[in-house]
Chains A and B, each alone.
Chain A
Amino acid sequence: MIAENVVFGIIAAAMALGAIGVVRTKNVVHAALYLVVVLAGGAAQFILLGQEFVAWVQVLVYIGAVIVLFLFGIMLTRAPMHPKDSLDNDLRWPAAVTSLFLVGILVGLLVHTFHADKVDVQRPVRTADVTSSIFTTYIVPFEVVGVLLLGALIGAVVLARKD
């Protein structure tokens, strides 16, 4: 278990550095690339937990699609090459307070929910188990998310079309 804790620490540190990079850089493309580091770290943590399905879906959906669309959007509009000062502002202290507040809430929620539960990392979850729980136990949330996404998609089309 020690080796896993060490690896977890290294990946977590890389994710934290990437997250700081996202908000600190003044180049919007670099920010997107730092975000890739954070998301890839998340996928690596899932593999560390033996959750391969979630890990590869994370790579496929977030890194392979969401960030690619971010970059695509950036390149279709201005494609800024040089750092812009307008990406920064003077709200550092309020931001720090907000993020501390958020950390408090998340830590509190996680501790409250899981207490001393241990994840059984020795027995990886198979894809079939994940999918059957999505399509049986969690079918209603799954469908609701589907409808929500469809609504967002149609909304985006309506907003984007001028006529």
Chain B
Amino acid sequence: MSHLLALDPLLRGSVTWSVFVVVVIKVAVAFVILLVSVMLYIWAMRKVIADMQNRIGPNRAGPYGVLQTLADGIKLFFKEQSIPNSADRPVFRLAPYLSIMPAFLMFCVVPIGGTVSILGHQTFLQVVDLPMGALFILAMSGLGVYGVMLAGWSSGSKYPLLGSVRASAQLLSYEAAFGLAILGVLIQAGTLSTHEIVAQQSWTNAWSFVSHWFWLKTFVAFVIFLVAATAETNHPPFDLVEAEQELVGGFNTEYTGIRFAIFYLAEFMNVITMSAIAVTLFLGGPSGPGLGFLARDNVLNVWVMPVVWFVVKVLALLFATVWVRASLPRMRYDRLMSLGWKWLIEIAILWVLVTATVQVAIVEDWNRLVAASIAVGAAVAAYGVLYASMPKSGEQIEEFR
């Protein structure tokens, strides 16, 4: 079935009821998992930050306050939803959903486990293995800007509009670096399918995490991806979208009740999805050592261990995001723009060229070390020329006066 899905997006070939049931189960399970993990992530984030700041954090609802997010959600659900008089009503209502849909859809192409058999069908533990998985990720992250942009515009007041223009400029700027960082992996993997990318990072020996996973082979792309993904998800230190002291609350100032909750949900769902994508592209996805004392086809090794590895890696990245949130202050806007446009995009383009050169060297059977060093040298020289020709920050301010 997996191959059928991969080659036939419309399920034109023989679709039996069991294929249909498997697809429905996968979609439902992925949706529930994502919602529950957002709930737990928000709780864990508040708890960890509280620990780092020597506070107690949420501790009332449920054991250790674990039900706090649920309680907040229920409260927001029953609150009045006001719409400002000057708002553009249809767009105002639509915007929260435009924000949350891409975050969920992006998660659909992430493989969270190995190949398993459900109802007699061999299938991957991922909602769908699109042949264009990576392209789909880029397309969806491009759609994410609509929610923010339209929410700010349709509110019909100044602060949300300012917040949304600022947010969309940020998202557009980092979109390029984000795409180029993914390209670094795609050139090495030679495929767009997320399942294939994960399959190339499979666990064959104890050193696979260095030799097979892409994070070391594309280290520059990995770093750029992490920075750009942080900016794409409006996560601190790039959370200029909701700079309270300047913008009241940013693009969602006029939102109340469940619509506000949906924006909140979308923001954290994006963080989880981006971490999952980082794990898929750079950290081997579900690959990791199995339980050696059990048979290879034991249910624990087939079903459980890949999922455990995937979850462990995603949790590690999520902890890192919380850590960053607790430790770094918000960036100034001009520095954000200069980091995106003057550093990340150039370095990402040059890294793509270096990766492509090395790939050609492998195909043409040249000396890889020589090719790689020439490529890196040329890239460094090119960046030096670019950097020298950029206006320094002082000159730039002079120019705008």
Q: Is the interface of B mostly helix, strand, loop or mixed?
A: helix
- In the bound complex, CA of A48 to CA of B139 (Å): 18
- In the bound complex, CA of A68 to CA of B192 (Å): 25
- What B residues does A63 contact at CB under 8 A? 139, 142-143
- What A residues does B135 contact at CB under 8 A? 53, 56-57, 60
Give the contacting residue for B86; candidates A30, A65, A81; CB below 8 A. A81
Binds A, one of B111-119, B145-153, B315-323, B349-357: B145-153
Interface string of A32-68 (1 = CB under 8 A from B): 0100000000000001101011001101100111001
CB of B132 within 8 A of CB of A71, answer no
Give the contacting residue for B149; candidates A48, A71, A127; CB below 8 A. A71
Once A56-B136, A59-B139 are accepted as A-B contacts, the answer to whether A68 and B146 lie under 8 Å apart by CB is: yes
CB of A29 within 8 A of CB of B132, answer no
CB of A64 within 8 A of CB of B139, answer yes
Give the contacting residue for A56; candidates B139, B146, B153; CB below 8 A. B139
How far apart are B152's CB and chain A's nearest CB, in angstroms? 8
Is A76 located at the chain interface by the 8 A CB criterion?
yes
CB of A52 within 8 A of CB of B130, answer yes
- What B residues does A81 contact at CB under 8 A? 86, 88, 153, 156
Binds A, one of B16-24, B165-173, B373-381: B165-173
- What B residues does A59 contact at CB under 8 A? 139, 142-143
CB of B153 within 8 A of CB of A75, answer yes
Once A79-B153, A127-B192 are accepted as A-B contacts, the answer to whether A47 and B9 lie under 8 Å apart by CB is: yes
- In the bound complex, CA of A68 to CA of B156 (Å): 19
- In the bound complex, CA of A124 to CA of B141 (Å): 25
Is B164 located at the chain interface by the 8 A CB criterion?
yes
CB of A50 within 8 A of CB of B9, answer yes
- In the bound complex, CA of A127 to CA of B138 (Å): 16
- What B residues does A29 contact at CB under 8 A? 88, 91, 150, 153
- In the bound complex, CA of A126 to CA of B193 (Å): 11
- What B residues does A69 contact at CB under 8 A? 172
- What B residues does A71 contact at CB under 8 A? 146, 149-150, 153, 168
- In the bound complex, CA of A68 to CA of B135 (Å): 18
Give the contacting residue for B165; candidates A65, A68, A75; CB below 8 A. A75
How far apart are A48's CB and chain B's nearest CB, in angstroms? 7
Is B161 located at the chain interface by the 8 A CB criterion?
yes
CB of A75 within 8 A of CB of B149, answer yes
Is A138 located at the chain interface by the 8 A CB criterion?
no
- In the bound complex, CA of A60 to CA of B176 (Å): 12
Give the contacting residue for B161; candidates A57, A60, A68, A79; CB below 8 A. A79
Is B61 located at the chain interface by the 8 A CB criterion?
no
Is A122 located at the chain interface by the 8 A CB criterion?
yes
- What A residues does B7 contact at CB under 8 A? 124
Is A72 located at the chain interface by the 8 A CB criterion?
yes
- In the bound complex, CA of A52 to CA of B139 (Å): 12
Q: Which residue of B lies closest to A72 (CB)?
A: B168
- In the bound complex, CA of A85 to CA of B343 (Å): 45
Q: Which residue of B lies closest to A71 (CB)?
A: B149
How far apart are A90's CB and chain B's nearest CB, in angstroms? 27
- In the bound complex, CA of A52 to CA of B86 (Å): 41
Is B8 located at the chain interface by the 8 A CB criterion?
yes
Interface string of B325-369 (1 = CB under 8 A from A): 000000000000000000000000000000000000000000000
Q: Which residue of A lies closest to B155 (CB)?
A: A81
- What A residues does B145 contact at CB under 8 A? 64, 68
- What B residues does A48 contact at CB under 8 A? 10
- What A residues does B285 contact at CB under 8 A? none
Is B12 located at the chain interface by the 8 A CB criterion?
yes
- What A residues does B142 contact at CB under 8 A? 59-60, 63-65, 68
Give the contacting residue for A68; candidates B9, B86, B132, B149; CB below 8 A. B149
Identify which of residues 73-91 in chain A touch chain B, using a CB-to-CB cut-off of 8 Å: 75-76, 79, 81
- In the bound complex, CA of A29 to CA of B153 (Å): 9
Is B131 located at the chain interface by the 8 A CB criterion?
yes
Q: Which residue of A lies closest to B168 (CB)?
A: A72
B139, B146, B164, B175 pick with most chain A CB within 10 angstroms: B139
- What A residues does B150 contact at CB under 8 A? 29, 33, 71
Identify which of residues 118-138 in chain B touch chain A, using a CB-to-CB cut-off of 8 Å: 130-132, 135-136, 138
28 A-B pairs in the complex with CB atoms less than 8 angstroms apart: A29-B91, A33-B150, A47-B9, A53-B135, A56-B135, A59-B139, A63-B139, A63-B142, A64-B138, A64-B139, A64-B142, A65-B142, A65-B175, A68-B146, A68-B149, A68-B168, A68-B172, A71-B146, A71-B149, A71-B153, A71-B168, A72-B149, A72-B172, A75-B165, A79-B153, A122-B12, A124-B9, A126-B131
Chain B: residues with CB nearer than 8 A to chain A? 7-10, 12, 86, 88, 91, 130-132, 135-136, 138-139, 141-143, 145-146, 149-150, 152-153, 156, 161, 164-165, 168-169, 172, 175, 192
List the 7 closest A-B pairs by CB distance, nearest first: A64-B142, A60-B139, A59-B139, A56-B135, A56-B132, A56-B139, A75-B165
Chain A: residues with CB nearer than 8 A to chain B? 27, 29-30, 33, 47-48, 50, 52-53, 56-57, 59-60, 63-65, 68-69, 71-72, 75-76, 79, 81, 122, 124, 126-127
